[in-house]
Homo-oligomer: A and B are copies of this chain.
Amino acid sequence: MEIKSYLKEQRLLVENAFDTLIPDAEGDFRDHIEAMRYSLLAGGKRVRPILCLAAARAIGRENIADQDILPVACALECIHTYSLIHDDLPAMDNDDLRRGKATNHVLHGEAGAILAGDGLLTWAFDLLSNPDHGNLSPERKLRITHCIARAAGSFGMVGGQALDIAYENTEFPFATLQTIHRSKTGALITASVLAGGIAAGGDKKQLAALEQYGNRIGLAFQIVDDLLNATATTAQLGKAAGSDAALGKATYPAYFGTKETRSLAQKAVKEANQCLADFDDKARPLRLLADYIYTRSH
C-alpha cells in the first residue's frame, strides 16, 4: 500500500459521501448552505475522517461497512471546517487565505461566516444522531456523539482556541503550550480515532490503545503544523506562512528551534506506532498515517 494513493482513495471516499450526507444549496436557506459548502468543499487532506475510517478497520472485529462509519467521518470534517471558519474571522486570527482560497468571511461576510460555522457544527451533530444513517446501534451512536462533543467543546477544541487567543503576544510556560496543543488540535484528532474504534466495537483495551495512538499523532500533527508555519512559504501552505510569529504565538519551533522540534515530532510518531503493537496488519493504514504526518515536516 502506497500512502499517497491510499490517502487519495480515502479522501475521495469521504468527499463522495458528502454528496448524500451534506445538504445541497437549494431551497429557502440556499445562500447559507452555499457558505457552509464553500469551506467544506474547499479541499483539505480529510485527515480526521480518514483516521476515523482507518481506526474502525483496524479493530476489524465486526463487519462494519463504510456506510456505517461515513456519517461519523463526515461529521468530524464538518466540525474541523467550522473551527477553521471561526478561527479565520477578523476577531480571531484574521486570515484572508485558507487552502489557497479566500476565507469564508471574505466571500460571505462576517455574519455569513459565523453562521456557516454554526451551521456546520450543528450539522455534525445532526449526522451523528440521525437514526436513518448507518446501522450502528443507538448506544454506540450516542457514545460516539458524546466522545466527539467532549473533544470539540470547551474542554477540547473550543477551549484550546480560547487559550490560544488569550495567550497571544504573551510569554508562558511550556506546559501551557502543551495544554493548548492538546485541547485545540489533539482532542479532535484523538476523538476521530476513538470514534472509529467505538463504531467498530473495539474493546476497552483496544480503545485505550487507540486513544494513546491518537494523543501521540495529535501531538505530532500540531508540532509539524508549527514547523510548516515557520518554515514553508504561503504558496506551499495555501494559507499565510509565518502568521504564528506575526501574531506572537508560542510554538514548538519558538521554544526548541527547528531541528529539535523535528526530532520531537519523530519521537511522537514512533510512540504512536508503539501504541499499535497489539494490533495486526489491519492497523497498517494507521501506522502509515502516523509516518505520513512526520513526512509532511520535510
- Contacts from A to B (Cβ < 8 Å): 23, 28-29, 31-33, 35-36, 86, 89, 91-92, 109-112, 114-115, 117-119, 121-123, 125-126, 128-131, 137-139, 141-143, 145-146, 149-150, 152-155, 158-159, 161-163, 165-166, 179, 183
Contact = CB atoms under 8 A, between A and B. Distances in A.
Contacts of A139: 138
A141 B142 CA distance: 8
A141 B150 CA distance: 16
Given A91-B110, A131-B146, 19 more contacts: A23-B154, A28-B179, A29-B155, A29-B159, A32-B162, A36-B154, A86-B115, A86-B118, A91-B109, A114-B114, A119-B154, A119-B158, A122-B154, A125-B149, A129-B145, A131-B143, A138-B139, A141-B142, A142-B142
A149 B129 contact: yes
| Dominant SS among interface residues on chain A | helix
Contacts of A152: 122
A149 B126 contact: yes
A184 to B, nearest CB: 11
A247 B115 CA distance: 19
Most chain B CB atoms below 10 A, which of A91, A115, A143 = A115
Nearest to A110: B91
Work out how many copies of this chain go into the complex.
2
- What 6 A-B pairs have minimum CB-CB distances, sorted nearest first? A91-B110, A122-B153, A32-B162, A29-B159, A129-B145, A129-B146
Nearest to A92: B111
Nearest to A116: B162
Nearest to A139: B138
Given A89-B114, A92-B111, A131-B143, A28 B149 contact: no
A139 B29 CA distance: 30
A121 B122 CA distance: 8
A132 to B, nearest CB: 9
B126 A111 contact: no
A158 B145 CA distance: 20
14 contacts: A32-B162, A35-B162, A91-B114, A115-B162, A117-B118, A119-B158, A119-B159, A119-B162, A121-B122, A122-B152, A123-B153, A123-B154, A128-B145, A137-B138
